[in-house]
Amino acid sequence: MNILSSIAWKNLKRNKKRTIATSIGIIVSVALISFIFTLIYSFQNSMIENTKKSVGNYHIHIDETASEVATKFKQMQKIEKVGISQTIGASDYETQIYAKQGIRIEAYDETSLFNRDISIIEGRLPKNEKEILISSYLVNNMNEPVKIGDKLTLDVQKVKLTIYNDGKDSVLEPDGVEKVVYTITGIIKQTRQEASSSNAYIAITKLEQIEEARPCEVTILLKNPKEENAFYQALMNTNLANHVSENSELLLWQGATNEMNEKSQMELIGILSIIIVVAITIILIRNSFQISISERMKEFGTLISIGANSKQITKIVLLEGIIYAIISIPIGLILGIGIVFFSTRGIGNVLENIYRNELNIQFSINGLFVIATILITLLSTFISCIKPIKEAKKASPIEVIKQNNEIKNKDVKISKVKSKFLGIEGELAYKNIKRNKRKYCSTTISISIIMILVIIVSGIIQYVFSIVNNTYMPTNRNIDVGIIYGYGQEETSTVFKNFDRIKKQDSIIDYSILVSFKGIIKENNKSISIYGCEGKQYKDYLDNLGLKYEDTVKTGIFISNNPIVQEGQTLNIIIKNKEYEIPIIKTSNLDPYMQLSGFDNPKILNVGNYEKLVISNDIAKTIDIDDERDSNVRGNFSMDMKINSSNPNQLEKEILQFVNPNKIAVVNYTKQKEDAQRISTIMSIFLYGLLLVISLIGITNIYNTITANMNLRKREFEILKAIGMSNKQFNKMFTYESLLYGLKALIIGTLIGILLNYGIYSILKAKQNMPYYFPIVQIIIMLIATIMVIHISTKVTWNKQELD
Amino acid sequence: MSEDIILKCENLTKIYGNEENKTIALDNVSFNVKRGQFISIIGASGSGKSTLLHLLGGVDKPTSGSVFINNIDIHSLTENDLSAFRRKEIGLIYQFYNLLPIMNVKENILLPSQLDKRKIDEKELNDLINVLGLGDRVTHLPNQLSGGQQQRVAIGRALINHPALILADEPTGNLDSKSSEEIVELLKVSNKKYNQTILLVTHDEKIAKEADRIITIKDGKIVKDIEKNEE
């Protein structure tokens, strides 16, 4: 070890307390930076992996194309993988509940089998064209139970592809029927293809030989995802334009899209957090160094007087920084990465429960991020050293020779009023603070930072709880089941069948069903909202009207301010060009919607200009409901069942066994509440933990500054004592000092903290309405605690000096 | 310049403060020092003797005038060259020792040569430590030593690089009479044994008389310059 590193090392060893405090500061910072990097990287990687599983490992998808086009892609340099699948044909197949008319046979080549959204629950992939995979969804709905190895005999209506209009358009045509006996080799989770198919289940077999006549589907995985856009645009200029689509989810997580999305938002938050962490680190390390340097000005002066040059002084301070970094970086890395490693499972489970799409967060680590963390820390350490180095270089040998290492004296003027008000002790305190403003600057910054963090963190925690509590949690039910509107939505008859099956489950205490759709009143050609009802809320509604359920099985209640038909008459409604005659048992002008929808405290309002009809589901089931299947915009159609169950978690599992989760949404409020609370608990632990560590560092920092400053004033204290200043007067002076700079720091911190807190509130409020939280209790606690820390630090140092 | 002149001081002036409030600490001081001379600089408090020493040691800059050590005008050197020059050619001894508290006796003594990246001659070092009477204290830290012992370490530190000049600023000012005598004796020994040129600032006439030459300063001017053989 050369002399410079020896001096640096020995200094750190001599000031163990400060060395430990500073190291903890850097460790926490490294841990936080690596935590943020690793968490984001793990999350993004997991999203890529999840997307590969749930959508497929490809960038571009081309459907209904000729086999010759498909094979051409295989020769392209840019492409990593080309997956080809062909539709063989379809067979009629009747199942228990669903209205799907048959099973379609798709043959996947090796690449497709491994790179599309095939997720095996049981069994294995098919090895030839006589083996098939079927979905658990189909298995659950089959009339007779099947298992792996069972045979499935199908009359397959084969198809061929005819291309016309210069390859721009194509049509599928029948190509003969063949009886095929398939062996079931595996049961898979429902593929997206099956979920979006309105009329067929999908069975997947192995593509052994590409047949020219059959329609082809191609999936393309490019070597470089960033080249996807150019490739896609090129394809859009060909005849294939109508058949090309992108795997936008995979492209998003692989960072191939430029627009602002979830990935870039996450990265932005990550970068902002890292900037805050780095800024705090720099302030903390710099502060610690500055104290260390100011205490050692005499040493630096001595070194300079015996011939140490600027370069050597710089090296000593830098070496100290490097030693700190060497000690702290590995520990911080292990901590930060370790936390992600151990928490990915926990957090993964929570997210999985919330998103219900098998989101699986896997731990992943990237060497580049580890290097980036190390570089960022080294850079922050270096930046922290710049000012202390400048100070150390300024050390004057003459001051050392003269033994004049006290605080430089400066004439501080004090007004007579102030002087009278403060007394001699206050005047001394005031002058002391005024004459070395810079020395107190670091303490002020430390206190302010802690105050700002306390306000921000307590605000964030409060807002998180607020978001959790604001999530709509109804009191009169715990499970909602409803149709998911959109392309390929479930048939209304199937939804009714699903509802009927749910009604029979054991744990149901009560339920309400509301089917909402539109019709036209024949008499005046006006649009009317129709509510098909069943269950508790409907009964309650009928009770209010003084009706019995039995009376309304075949009749309706007409809601209008000017009913064109009266009680006992018939209302003629036209739906999808069909006419329905509904006998009216009662008319009313009160809108029943809120009551029938299951609002906690429904407000009964006048119906206004609208006209509505309430009927029982017995009638609704006989109507060919306009489910807006052909409409582009959802307006008036919904099918919802609201359930109060004695065992909601079990019921949810049971429901998911027979409904198609891609078409029917099942919302379990109990679970949502638990999940949300778990997330807020994890966040609180993390944020409070962070706050605690930063506060501890801050307190050490305050203590160090005060001790250092008081030691420099030792001689001054001795003089004051010698001329008769009593302990009581000293105490009074110290109290004034604590109040003077403590309060200043706290006021600055509080103001900045409140501003930032309000900023965060404004951002979050845009997403969810919540009350503004002013952390008054925390501010008061901080005020008292800070003044106490300052006072105790002063007292302890004073007592030590007394002992000396 | 004659060969045995090691230090030449020409019209050295140091003024503190601004025009309205100026203090002339040194006023046009000139003198020469021969190699191997032991010189005492005496004067009352505030007479300018310490300022003179700081200017000679290159730790402070004169308002005007020059200081030549071994024919080099030290105040014309750059900051870095001056550091190197101080390291090699000047040994400073202070009233308050100014040892590095984190380093032991041996390390403190070796500091200037290590800063200069010089190879250590163990035999020479041991010899010096023995002369200083610190043979059984080499691994002690400064706070484990008496004032006299600490000052001896400081003298060792000043001597280790065989500087052209040793500047001692009230080296006995903080010591009892016995320790003071020991220190002066040590300085005399090093003057004789190593032919070391020494400039000692003191206000103690008894100590000053131990030197070959006594320069008296008053109000920033040399008022008396007596060599012993002249007496």
**Nearest of A602, A598, A615, A599 to residue A529 by alpha carbon:** A615
* Tokens 């936008």 found at: A248
Q: What is the mean pLDDT of residues B217-228?
A: 90
pLDDT category at A784 given cuts 50, 70, 90 is confident
Q: Is residue A514 predicted with pLDDT exceeding 70?
A: yes
Query: What residues have CB less than 8 Å from A655, skipping those under 6 apart?
Result: A479, A481, A502, A505, A666
Q: How far is B40 from chain A (nearest CA, A)?
A: 18
CA distance A37 to A337: 9
Q: What is the mean pLDDT of residues A77-97?
A: 84
Q: What is the mean pLDDT of residues A220-247?
A: 88
Say if the Cβ atoms of A309 and B80 lie within 8 Å: yes
pLDDT at A412: 60
Q: What is the mean pLDDT of residues A783-787?
A: 85
Q: Does A404 touch chain B (CB under 8 A)?
A: no
Two tokens, residue B82:
């001056």
**Nearest of B152, B128, B122, B131 to residue B140 by alpha carbon:** B152
Point out the residue among B86, B95, B98 whose CB comes nearest to the CB of A302: B98
* Best mutation target, A12, A296, A302, to test chain B (most B CBs within 10 A): A302
Q: How far is A749 from chain B (nearest CA, A)?
A: 38
- Within 8 A of B60 by CB-CB distance, chain A residues are 398
Q: What is the mean pLDDT of residues A349-376?
A: 72
pLDDT category at A266 given cuts 50, 70, 90 is low
Q: Least CA distance to A399: which residue of chain B?
A: B59
Say if the Cβ atoms of B83 and A14 lie within 8 Å: no
pLDDT category at A55 given cuts 50, 70, 90 is confident
Q: Tell me which long-range contacts A242-247 makes (C-beta under 8 A, separation of at least 24).
A: A242/A168, A242/A169, A243/A62, A243/A63, A243/A64, A243/A65, A243/A170, A244/A60, A244/A61, A244/A62, A245/A60, A245/A61, A245/A62, A245/A63, A246/A59, A246/A60, A246/A61, A247/A51, A247/A55, A247/A56, A247/A58, A247/A59, A247/A60, A247/A61
Domain range annotation of chain A: 1-52+266-405, 56-246, 418-472+670-804, 485-662
Interface ipTM: 0.77
Question: Which chain A residues in 321-380 lie under 8 Å from chain B, judged by CB atoms?
Answer: none
Query: What residues have CB less than 8 Å from A454, skipping those under 6 apart?
Result: A691, A695, A753, A775, A778, A779, A782
Strands (E), chain B: 5-16, 23-34, 38-42, 64-69, 72-73, 90-93, 165-169, 197-202, 213-218, 221-227
Q: Which is higher by pLDDT, A413 or A386?
A: A386
pLDDT at B29: 93
Say if the Cβ atoms of A10 and B96 lie within 8 Å: no
Say if the Cβ atoms of A400 and B98 lie within 8 Å: yes
Q: Which is higher by pLDDT, A698 or B61?
A: B61
Q: Does A301 touch chain B (CB under 8 A)?
A: yes
pLDDT at B197: 92
pLDDT category at A579 given cuts 50, 70, 90 is very high
Task: Average the pLDDT over each of A331-340, A768-777, B181-190 and give the range with the smallest value.
Answer: A768-777
* Tokens 């959508």 found at: A55
Rg (CA), chain A: 37
pLDDT at B231: 47
Q: What is the mean pLDDT of residues A641-663?
A: 86
Which residues on neighbouring strands pair with residue A479, listed in sequence order? A643, A668
Q: How far is A322 from chain B (nearest CA, A)?
A: 19
- Within 8 A of B83 by CB-CB distance, chain A residues are 304, 307-310
Q: Tell me which long-range contacts A521-524 makes (C-beta under 8 A, separation of at least 24).
A: A521/A564, A521/A571, A521/A572, A521/A573, A521/A574, A521/A611, A522/A572, A522/A573, A522/A574, A522/A579, A523/A564, A523/A565, A523/A571, A523/A572, A524/A564
Question: Which chain B residues in 211-230 lie under 8 Å from chain A, judged by CB atoms?
Answer: none
Domains of chain B: 5-230 (3.40.50.300)
* Best mutation target, B14, B52, B53, B83, to test chain A (most A CBs within 10 A): B83
Distance of alpha carbon A194 from its chain centroid, rounded?
29
Task: Average the pLDDT over each of A102-111, A217-226, A471-480 and give the range with the smallest value.
Answer: A471-480
H and E: helices and strands count for chain B: 7, 10
pLDDT category at A170 given cuts 50, 70, 90 is confident
How distant, in Å, are the alpha carbons of A67, A178, A705, B104, B117 from that of B141?
A: 88, 100, 26, 4, 23
pLDDT at B45: 84
Say if the Cβ atoms of B87 and A299 lie within 8 Å: no
Q: What is the mean pLDDT of residues A616-635?
A: 80
Q: Are A613 and A480 in contact (CB under 8 A)?
A: no
pLDDT at A98: 47
**Of all helices (H) and strands (E), which one includes residue A570?**
strand A570-575
Which residues on neighbouring strands pair with residue A132, listed in sequence order? A184, A205
A414 φ, ψ (degrees, to nearest 5): -135, 135
Q: Are A405 and A712 in contact (CB under 8 A)?
A: yes
Q: Does B111 touch chain A (CB under 8 A)?
A: yes
Question: Which chain B residues in 41-60 lie under 8 Å from chain A, judged by CB atoms?
Answer: 50, 54, 57, 59-60
Q: Which is higher by pLDDT, A784 or A673?
A: A784
pLDDT at A12: 85
Q: Which is higher by pLDDT, A439 or A302?
A: A302
Q: Least CA distance to B94: which residue of chain A?
A: A401
Task: Average the pLDDT over each of A8-17, A103-112, A765-774, B161-170 and give the range with the smallest value.
Answer: A765-774
Q: What is the mean pLDDT of residues A216-245?
A: 88
Q: Which is higher by pLDDT, A409 or B142?
A: B142
CA distance A620 to A636: 15
pLDDT category at A406 given cuts 50, 70, 90 is very low
CA distance A326 to A378: 9
